Structure 1
Amino acid sequence: MCGKIWNPSFKRNSDGQMAILFALSLFPIALIAGFAVDFQVLTTNKSKAQSSIDSAVIAGTRAYQDGATKLEVQQTVRTYFTALISNGPFPLTCTLPAVVIDDTDVEATTSCTMDTFLAKIADIDTFEFDVETATTYGIGKVDVSFVFDVSGSMDGQRIADLKIAARDAVDTLLVEDPKPGHEDDIRISMVAYNGAFNAGDYFEAATGSSSSQSVNYYYNGRWYTYYYYSTCVFEREGSQAFTDAAPGPGQYIVKADVYRRDDCGDAEPLALTSSRQPLYDYITALGAEGNTAGHLGVAWGWYMISPAWSAVFPESAAPLAYDEPDSAKALILMTDGAFNTVGDSSNGNSTWQAKQLCDQAKAAGIRIYSVAFQAPEAGREVLQYCSSGSEFFFRPENGQQLQDAYQSIASSISDLRITL
């Protein structure tokens, strides 16, 4: 008969060996865990340092645009960076940024050190890293077109809110005392639409017809001629209906007829300008009435900044070429309603026409921002479609939010971009 022999000393030896092996394994485990923790902190600190120096250099370059000296710009960058870096979640020590400035760019570099936590067990007391960044003017020159809905639903508080928001946006876009040679870097055009569009001084060039019209009619056994004056227009027909082709034979804009000659209101287009006062005057004079032919707003907003229309406008207001170096074009659409009126229904409804125009404008390189101010779902849908992306679409529900939207758009247009 066989049986197992129990050896107490064998168990003691085995337990001791296991304890030793476990103890030996603790060091690499702790070392790996320590590096993991410290590298996570390092990643967080690098991100914090990069965003801080980015923000500081943007602040410095904005100050430079506004006329600050190079010494003042350098101090601005360092002050901003020091304030921002001190608010990080983990201790971090960085040198004052070295700042290099030229005519359009501000560059900055800094070296940072952070104390380790658990990596000290491997005699690694600190991690060091460098961060750098640079800004340049995001756009050297820009043509901006504001498109305002002045239909009847905008009357009262809504148009009052619009006037405040639009004026604030002008102040943000146009530097009060630009540097010599940069006075026309940003130019702004404004158009307003309701049930039709008032082409104003550009009526004859756009339609190929005089604004003084007449119509013959037969009444009570006799023929009469009725004379009237109108600068109201509707959409273009034919193959160029949804392009920015210059007006001309076969591609003129359709003029309003005797029955709808007053549907467009009083707001005539304001050609591109870098002067604040005519823009202020335009905004102040806005009134609300009529329906909402939103596609006309899109079309004329585009025409005002299209180089194809340069011959229509005064030489000083001629839009930049699409391929102008270091330039951009922006269209800012606004409505509080649904697009519900057309001049020629054979072109499709107003929403459909607006979308076709927006597609073509974006294809030409125009950045489209859109503001659906207390608009119904149909109005929101078409403006969201027209915008150049979700970050370019705004749907404010009150006056303050409208101001915030226009401020955000103005800042985006005049903002700087990180280049390094």
Structure 2
Amino acid sequence: MRDTTHHSGLEPMKGNANQRSPFTSFKDDENGSLVIFAVIMILMILTMGGIGVDLMRSERDRATLQHTLDRAILAAADLDQDRAPATVVNDYFEAAGLESFLSNVTVQQGLNYKTVGAQAQSITTTAFMKLAGVDSLNATASGVAEERIANVEISMVLDISGSMGDGNKMGQLRTAATSFVNTVLSPSNEDLVSVSLVPYSQHVNAGPKIYNELNVNHRHNYSHCIEMADSAYSETELDLSVQYDQMQHFQWNYPGWNQLTDTICPRYSYERITPFSQDASALNAQIAQMQPRAGTRIFMGMKWAAAMLDPAFNPVVNALANSNDIDSAFSNRPAAFEDVETLKTVVLMTDGKNSSAQRIKSWAYDSSSDYYHWSRYNLWYYLYRNVNSYHRGNYYWWKYDAAQGDALLDNICDASKEAGIVIWSIGFEVDDHGANVMENCASSPSHFFRVEGIEISEAFDAIARQINQLRLTQ
């Protein structure tokens, strides 16, 4: 029988009805996706590490440039450097093989300063950052070095007491002080640095020039010391309105004969104050003449040192300049304490400690004949030979003892530091008590030197070097 069922010409496909096309399968296939993520992360880590390497290379180059530049400008700014500053800087970079990176050198110079600035730049080609579009990194170095000699007022206070005659102390002091003078009064410091030399023993001889500018109750012409009230040691100023008594001219320490070489007020020309000098030869000649005398009054030396740095002393200095006794360049000294361009400093040296002192009672020292008498006779030589032992005490009294001297020294040191004066102190073969007193006087413990023998030269040299200080200003 014939099948009459109608069949279409299109037959359905055989197979899985859920089967997808290859494109759909590829799109939706998640196999291997972590591998892709890992590759991306590794690339990112390598890139970040590479950036770090590039940055470190650039910083290495910058540090090398900066180190070379700092050394170069410090050397070029040295006031003792004779070569042109730009030449010095170029030579440093050339020696380091970095001359092509030096871009600029600036120089400013004046009478008392030299400022040298420089800039350098290198370009570091990147190895990894170029992937981020950064092909190079700039390494820049710059700096300014300055050596400046400010106006400097120095009071150098030297102990020439009797104990300086022990061993070779005086010779060692002369050598050290001479070296100090030569250092601070170098030719480059002309008209900028002044040195006031203040020798002291039992007293301080102001010298006739300074003495004549003061208001003094004048008694004799044998020497030129003045007596100050204890209150004067609480301030740096030497009050020019006050009338001072002239120190009695006599000697009380008794060696067994009528000795008069160690009078309380030093009597010889080399024992006088030399104010505001820049004549190294004259100062050194005075230092070379110094001889040890009797007694130690550190506080008196320090008072005069401070007074000559106090602006209230200017009328005296101005008068001395007008009479050509000091250089006219210093006629306006001492400068005001507020003057930022002026350094005021004291170098205070001793080999001992404050000692006691006698004075003749006023009834025995009140006429020209008395002044003349005691200029001819050692006090104790006369008393032993002419006065009964029961009555000798009527002729003298004790003005100071060691404790009073220490207290007065503390007062004047404190007043000086409060005023802004920098105090360097040197204890030359001192005992512990003397060292403590001198350290307390100094501006800080690092400003105090306790030395033995030839170390005194090292101390003076170290202090002298502080006048010229190099510093990086940026």
TM exceeds 0.5?
A: yes
Asked if 1:361 is matched to 2:416, the reply is: yes
Give the stretch that moved more between structures: 20-29 or 277-286. Answer: 20-29
Change (3 A) 1:205 1:138: closer
Greater Rg, structure 1 or structure 2?
2
For residues 393 and 315 of structure 1, the distance between their equivalents in structure 2, rounded to whole angstroms, comes to 33
1:19-58 deviation digits (Å, cap 9, x = unpaired): 9999789758956985897698578647634641442233
Give the stretch that moved more between structures: 100-109 or 273-282. Answer: 100-109
Asked if 1:209 is matched to 2:217, the reply is: yes
Q: Paired residue for 1:315? A: 320
Change (3 A) 1:342 1:137: farther
Q: Paired residue for 2:346? A: 331
Q: After the TM superposition, which residues 27-176 of structure 1 pair with which residues of structure 2 at under 5 Å, given as runs?
A: 27=46, 45=64, 48-49=67-68, 51-59=70-78, 61-63=79-81, 68=82, 72-79=84-91, 81-82=92-93, 86=96, 94-95=101-102, 98-103=105-110, 105-113=114-122, 128-135=139-146, 137-139=148-150, 141-155=151-165, 156-176=167-187
Give the TM-score, by structure 2 length. Answer: 0.65
Equivalent pair of 2:93/2:102 in contact (CA under 8 Å):
no
Q: Paired residue for 1:218? A: none
Change (3 A) 1:126 1:299: same
Q: Paired residue for 1:270? A: 274
Identity of aligned residues (%): 21
In structure 1, the gaps of 5 or more residues are 1-12, 214-228
Give the stretch that moved more between structures: 301-310 or 34-43. Answer: 34-43
Equivalent pair of 2:177/2:460 in contact (CA under 8 Å):
yes
For residues 114 and 336 of structure 1, the distance between their equivalents in structure 2, rounded to whole angstroms, comes to 61
Q: Paired residue for 1:412? A: 466
Deviation of the 1:212 alpha carbon: 0.9
Change (3 A) 1:175 1:97: farther
In structure 2, the gaps of 5 or more residues are 1-31, 253-261, 359-398
Equivalent pair of 1:368/1:392 in contact (CA under 8 Å):
yes
- 3-state secondary structure, aligned to 1:384: helix
Equivalent pair of 1:145/1:330 in contact (CA under 8 Å):
yes
Equivalent pair of 1:244/1:308 in contact (CA under 8 Å):
no
Give the stretch that moved more between structures: 314-323 or 351-360. Answer: 314-323
Q: After the TM superposition, which residues 246-257 of structure 1 pair with which residues of structure 2 at under 5 Å, given as runs?
A: 246-248=238-240, 250=242, 252=244, 255-256=247-248
Equivalent pair of 1:237/1:347 in contact (CA under 8 Å):
no
Change (3 A) 1:205 1:113: same
For residues 211 and 54 of structure 1, the distance between their equivalents in structure 2, rounded to whole angstroms, comes to 60
**Which amino acid is 1:106 matched to?**
T
Give the stretch that moved more between structures: 323-332 or 163-172. Answer: 323-332
**Which amino acid is 1:107 matched to?**
V
Deviation of the 1:246 alpha carbon: 3.2
Aligned length in residues: 372
For residues 443 and 51 of structure 2, the distance between their equivalents in structure 1, rounded to whole angstroms, comes to 47
Deviation of the 1:205 alpha carbon: 4.9
Asked if 1:386 is matched to 2:438, the reply is: no
